[in-house]
Structures are given as C-alpha cells and as structure tokens.
Amino acid sequence: MMLKTETNNQKGRLKVVSDRAKLELALSRTLTLDELKVLEFIAEGFPSEEIAEFLNLNEISAKRHIASILRKLKARSRAHAIAICFRTGCLVMEWEK
C-alpha cells in the first residue's frame, strides 16, 4: 500500500508495513492473512467498499474482517486498532523513494 506524500521538500511514498509475527507476539491474538491485509488498508484510510474492491471481496466480507480485527485487538474503532498496532510496532511507516 502506498500513499503519495511530500514532506520537507522530499518527494516519496509512505508505505504501511505489517509484521504478522510481531502482531501475534505483542497482542497474543491471531489475525488471519486476510485480516492483516484488511488492516493495512484500514491504516491507509480506505473505506470498506474500496477494501472489498481491492481484495476482490464483497463488502459484507470486508466488514466482517474489520469486525473480527476490532474484536481480536479489543479496539473500539478502526483508528484505535491502528493506534494499537503502531504502538506495538506491528505496523510501521516507511519512506520509499
């Protein structure tokens, strides 16, 4: 996933990178590979409809994945789930040039 951005006059792309092993270890929760992919899209700010389209799912399946992620992470919202993952180092932002 890439987000085009410009900071301090440096052009590049901000990429969300997930680490499933760190996520499982840090949170003692098991996310499926599909849920991890959905989590990356959530971190990029995509709505359910677009997540479903990118992953070739129907919107109901995408929403079920999101609900499962929130439940497993004990998060109150999408933003809270992402905050948990960034705080534990399971999601990081990397610059690509």
Taking only the tens place, the pLDDT of each residue in 64-88 is 999 999 998 899 999 999 998 888 7
Q: What proportion of the chain, given as a percentage, has pLDDT over 90?
A: 38
Residue 52 corresponds to which tokens in the numbers above?
């479903």
Residue 26: inside a domain, yes or no? no
Task: Provide the CATH number for the domain around residue 71.
Answer: 1.10.10.10
Residue 18: inside a domain, yes or no? no
Indicate the pTM of the whole model. 0.69
Please answer whether residues 71 and 63 qualify as being in contact, where contact means their C-beta atoms are separated by less than 8 angstroms: no
Residue 53: inside a domain, yes or no? yes
| Structural domains of the chain, count | 1
Residue 42 to residues 7, 48, 63: CA-CA distances in angstroms?
A: 22, 8, 11
Residue 75: inside a domain, yes or no? yes
